[in-house]
Amino acid sequence: MKVVLDTSVLYQALYSSLGASHAILQLVRTGDIKLALSIPVFEEYCDVLLRKSSLESFSLTPFDVHHFLDFIAMIGVKTDIRYLLRPNLRDENDNIFMELAFASDAHYVITKNTRDFTYKPDLKLEAIEIITPAAFMELWRKRYA
């Protein structure tokens, strides 16, 4: 199963080792789920996770976060975005995650902010489910645990 992780999920996973976001990251680490990755999404991860405010809230050094990002770059399923797909989500910056989900044939976009992904999009992608980390883990446990 392939997923796209919104930056909020990685942020929460680094912030706390408790909860669904961290559990999802462990599933990625063990290879139980595949993480789709594109250059724009990876750049978004870098931008947000390496902010001074993020580093302070994680209590991590830039070296630690770079090491984590290196891991994400290594394990992620690289996907070329050959065309722009704009479902015109509420937050323009979220369109890169939907582009990646479509191009990589991902099953889920996991985000803590489902409202921005489902608020009157111009383009409906019914094969891709927008889901919270907690709901994804509940679904995962029902199917595979």
Q: Where are the domains of the chain?
A: 2-144
Distance CA 108, CA 136 (A): 9
Confidence at residue 9, expressed as pLDDT on a 0 to 100 scale: 98
Confidence at residue 113, expressed as pLDDT on a 0 to 100 scale: 87
Q: What is the pTM of this model?
A: 0.91
Mean of all residue pLDDT scores within the chain: 90
Query: At the topology level of CATH, where does 2-144 sit?
Result: Rossmann fold (3.40.50)
